[in-house]
Amino acid sequence: MRSPGPISAALVLSVLITLPALVCVAQDKPAAKSQAPAKSVEAPIPADVITEGSVTVGGQRIPYTAVAGIITVGATDAEDAQLGSNGKPEPGSQLALSEPKNPADAPPVAHMFYVAYFKTGAKAEDRPVTFFYNGGPGSSTMWLHMGSLGPKYVETSGDTHLPGAPYRLVENPDCLLDASDLVFIDMPGTGFGRLAGKDAGKAFWGVDEDAGAFARFIARFLTKYNRWNSPKFLFGESYGTTRSAVLANLLENRDNIDLNGVMLLGEIFNFPMGIGVGGARPGMDLPYELALPTYAATAWYHKKLNPQPPALAPFLKQVEDFALGEYMHALAEGTDIKPEEKQSVAEKLHEYTGLPVAYLIKADLRVNGGEFEKTFADEDDMTTGRYDTRFLGPTIDPLSQGAEYDPQSAAISSAYVALVNSYLRSTLKYGAGQSYLPSALFGGVHWDWSRHGHSGFGSPNGVNVSADLADAMKTNPHLKVMVNDGYYDMATPFFAAMYEEKHLPIPESLTSNIQYDWYESGHMAYVRDECRKQLHDRVAAFIRSTDGGGK
């Protein structure tokens, strides 16, 4: 995907492909001249498809059942309560009694596509279940499904653009089925899921609307598969972490569904602190300070530092101290900063990032994410990746101020799109004759960033869901949180995630419920083989360490 401008770059956190949003409403059939108009009929929902498979993890062969299917949810709790398990209004319900002739005028519903993997023979009460979803907002969950902890993964070793098809989908030795059953959920209007009814996009595409749909999906899933008494976990990536904060609060405090743990990958709660959003707001300096360790990690990886530090982690600790010390002080001075201090800080920034001192002075010591991506390897006419700064690609416009595309997205997106389409149809036997939608938004429909019952904002510039997760943790003090992030992630910098968590409005007694895990990879830590194994081992240990972690 081409890298958008400063504000939209922070919105599109993991939507790597954009397709128009589709609303699934069947067209009226033409009527014969002497007949009454035929009633409009919504396209039928395909039946669930069940297949069997097995995967070897840690030398153990694990047999599993895979279910690919649709769960339909209403746009509100009241409307959802009137839907049967088949997604249709219950006979005699208000929805059924007031059902319009044209389905396009019916109350909105989301037919949400999912793939679930159940370990064969496991007892439900002893067996954890983990719900996975990507972000965007607007992305399907093909990235986590095809790349992370499922039974298969897209082979993406290295940090360069993959050759063309055929791509390789291989058995995943780091599949999480040794510790939990897995449910990969596509957000409303993506994957093989479709929206139906009046103003369906508006009903489901927003911060609170989206989280509400996922909460209703999870409740229906627990009923369908009799998993109410299983240990329950959330695993969200990118905007999926934003969703997780809101969703955890809904499940805990509205639905009385206690969670055992919430796992976050590429966290963003407080959008004004994002390097894309904050970088466009004069007087908001924290984004620059929190992104600096990622700039430094990038320079370390590409060996742009002189002298080159021998180890990454100790070097980054030094950069972090500088970022919240001398650098923060210099930026806080604003126009009062003395020339000699500005020069000194610019030289230190050069030492940590490899960026030219003159460029840093001209930038007033403030370089946003897009500018860094464009300038870092400028002498080689190369642009640095946004989602993973290990990746470099030819610069499109040498005279541009910022990056115009993301080399990491360009490098791997085709493989993911090709293999999710192939795998779902050929292995899971689902989706014949249907289009799989990697993304739902940006076809004329916009995400609603306002918060209902919260201080309202109409854009991500004001969105901060930290209080949602804090409320969930306070009302369920057993809830554990796992923060995962890559050192080379420019979209959601790891130091910003740490800062967010350490500023949650929670008592000191709950801070030990949060653990931090960093990876020498980017936004999608799992695209690097070594990091995918680390992710599996750490997530499996996290699940087993929680109350009721199961088997």
pLDDT of residue 89: 85
Q: What pLDDT, in 10s, does the model give residues 459-511? A: 666 899 999 999 999 999 999 999 999 999 999 999 999 999 999 999 999 99
pTM of the model: 0.91
pLDDT of residue 42: 59
- Domain membership flag for residue 42: no
Count of domains observed in the chain: 2
Q: What pLDDT, in 10s, does the model give residues 103-128? A: 788 899 999 999 999 999 999 888 99
Q: Specify whether the CB–CB gap between 187 and 141 falls below 8 A.
A: yes
Q: Specify whether the CB–CB gap between 408 and 544 falls below 8 A.
A: no
- Domain membership flag for residue 432: yes
- Domain membership flag for residue 550: no
- Domain membership flag for residue 29: no
pLDDT of residue 22: 31
* pLDDT for 397 beyond 60: yes
- Whether 350 and 431 map to the same domain: the answer is no
Q: Which of 352, 375, 408 is where one domain is finished?
A: 408
- Domain membership flag for residue 215: yes
pLDDT of residue 440: 82
CB atoms within 10 A of CB 345: 20
Q: Specify whether the CB–CB gap between 342 and 311 falls below 8 A.
A: no
- Whether 132 and 239 map to the same domain: the answer is yes
* pLDDT for 35 beyond 50: no
Mean pLDDT of 424-432: 96
CATH number at residue 193: 3.40.50.1820
pLDDT of residue 93: 81
- Whether 251 and 104 map to the same domain: the answer is yes
- Whether 306 and 347 map to the same domain: the answer is yes
- Domain membership flag for residue 551: no
Q: Which of 388, 408, 428 is where one domain is finished?
A: 408
- Domain membership flag for residue 43: no
User: CA-CA distance, 164 to 267, in Å (whole number)?
Assistant: 31
- Whether 486 and 528 map to the same domain: the answer is yes
Q: Which helix or strand (DSSP H or E) is residue 239 part of?
A: helix 239-253
Q: Is residue 28 very low, low, confident or very high in pLDDT (cuts 50, 70, 90)? A: very low
- Whether 444 and 384 map to the same domain: the answer is no
Q: Which residues contact 525 (CB under 8 A, 6 or more apart)?
A: 265, 484, 485, 486, 519, 531, 532, 534, 535
Domain containing 304 equals: 280-408
- Whether 318 and 169 map to the same domain: the answer is no
- Whether 256 and 322 map to the same domain: the answer is no
Beta bridge partners of 73: 110
- Whether 446 and 367 map to the same domain: the answer is no
Is residue 98 exposed (0-12), middle (13-18) or buried (19+ Cβ within 10 Å)? exposed
Structure tokens at 133: 């979803």
- Domain membership flag for residue 300: yes
Is residue 36 exposed (0-12), middle (13-18) or buried (19+ Cβ within 10 Å)? exposed
- Whether 295 and 268 map to the same domain: the answer is no
Structure tokens at 76: 């509100």
Q: Which of 387, 408, 429 is where one domain is finished?
A: 408
User: CA-CA distance, 515 to 513, in Å (whole number)?
Assistant: 7
- Whether 328 and 366 map to the same domain: the answer is yes
- Whether 87 and 171 map to the same domain: the answer is yes
Q: In degrees, to the nearest 5, what angle opens at C-alpha 510 toward C-alphas 504 and 515?
A: 80
